[in-house]
Amino acid sequence: MTKTDLNEIATHYHLGSLLETSNWDGRQAKSSIWSNSITAIAGLILLVSIFPIVQKEFLKESLSMSIFLIGLLGLIIMGITFFTTRIRQEIRKLGTRAISVFEHGFVDERNPKVEVFLYQNIVEIWQYRVQVGGGGYFSSYNVIQKDGSKCYLDEKIEDVDQLGSSLQQVCLTYQLPPLVKSFQAGENLEFDQIALNQQGIIIQRKDLCLDRLE
């Protein structure tokens, strides 16, 4: 997408000024693709390499053994060709996704698909954090709109934690005023299995009065 196209989308949806753009982290994504593919290829080679040992007692004739080994080699070549083709396809996708953050929404550009997420239409942002060795972690975010459309952001995107935190903060400024209004009107504010009202907190249909909370 050209800068002109992005500006036209921003104007059409009244997104305001462009604040930041996050792209796929190609180095990390490529490393993940290659490591997974190499592991799969190694597993395939290991799997097919045990067949000569198992079949040794059954393939006494040199001709039969030669035919078997040729077929085995063909299977390995087919497997490597398949995985290298998949690697090329995945790597071609890298760098084609960008998240452009504006004042009133963001654009998820995943060539050739382009989606617009308005902050006023976002109802949920789920954050997931996976612990890894050495005390580190991977973060990902799932952004959900009223119509059910989703945008998944993971560690392959540059500075995904900063991006996810910014989206959470800006969406809160849109969601908080109507929630406060509903709360002041005496309505229940429901958050999955927890609800909040002026009398207290309801957890799985069990009431807990606010004056009992420390």
CA distance 113 to 9: 13
Cα torsion angle, 159, 126, 201, 206, sign: negative
pTM for this prediction: 0.61
The domain limits of the chain are 3-24+97-173, 31-93
Question: Token pair of 122, please?
Answer: 């976002």
Question: Token pair of 24, please?
Answer: 């796929």
CA distance 168 to 175: 10
47 or 1: whose pLDDT is higher?
1
Asked if residue 104 lies in contact with residue 14, where contact means CB atoms within 8 angstroms, the answer is: yes
Residues 126-183: tens digit of each pLDDT? 999 888 777 778 889 999 999 999 999 988 788 899 999 999 999 989 888 988 999 8
State the pLDDT confidence band at 25, using cuts at 50, 70 and 90. Answer: low
29 contacts: CB under 8 Å, gap ≥ 6 = 90, 94, 156
CA distance 62 to 11: 74
Q: Which contiguous run of DSSP H or E holds residue 124?
A: strand 122-131
Q: Tell me the CATH number of domain 3-24+97-173, given options 3.60.15.10, 2.30.29.30, 3.40.605.10, 3.40.50.20.
A: 2.30.29.30
197 contacts: CB under 8 Å, gap ≥ 6 = 183, 186, 187, 188, 189
Residues 27-85: tens digit of each pLDDT? 555 555 556 666 666 666 665 555 555 455 544 555 565 666 666 667 777 767 776 67
